[in-house]
Amino acid sequence: MTNTNITYTQQGEYLLPDLQLPEQKNVEIGIFGQRHKNYLLNHHKIRYYNLLTSCKLAEYLADVDSRANEMFANLVKQIAENENITEQLKAENPMLWIQRMNNIRNRATEIVNNEIIYI
């Protein structure tokens, strides 16, 4: 038998155990990680709470965010090359370049959302 040395705090008539989560790494979670967190919380609550209570949520979200950012950057670069969006266009017609790059970023965001975030 193991000795766990659990301490209790009295709250009214009840004794509640003093539970503490283990220390976790402080990780930055970007926009894609936050979107996935909200998706899990709204659509996959059991999975969300399993990750949360096992202290793996922050690490999991940081991984999702990293993969999503990498995919986003690669997609933007590939689509821009395929559509001949160059620095020359940027110098000659900056408004057209901005318009087309925003369009590419929006499409890349939709792809990342469908393939990584909302699954």
Number of domains in the chain: 1
Query: pLDDT tens, 20-31?
Result: 767 777 888 999
Whether 47 is in a domain gets the answer: yes
CB 45 within 8 A of CB 34: no
Whether this model's pTM surpasses 0.85? no
Whether 24 is in a domain gets the answer: no
Which pLDDT value is given to residue 2? Answer: 62
Whether 99 is in a domain gets the answer: yes
Nearest Cα neighbor of 29 from 51, 4, 12, 47 is: 51
Helix axes 57-82, 31-43, angle to 10 degrees: 120
Q: Tell me the C-alpha distance between 16 and 68, whole Å.
A: 41
Query: pLDDT tens, 88-101?
Result: 999 999 999 999 99
Residue-number span of the structural domain to which 97 is assigned: 29-117
Q: Across residues 78-91, what is the average pLDDT?
A: 96
Whether 5 is in a domain gets the answer: no
Asked whether residue 1 carries a pLDDT value surpassing 70, the answer given is: no
Number of H helices, E strands in the chain: 5, 2
Whether 1 is in a domain gets the answer: no
Whether 64 is in a domain gets the answer: yes
Whether 45 is in a domain gets the answer: yes
Q: Tell me the C-alpha distance between 12 and 6, whole Å.
A: 19
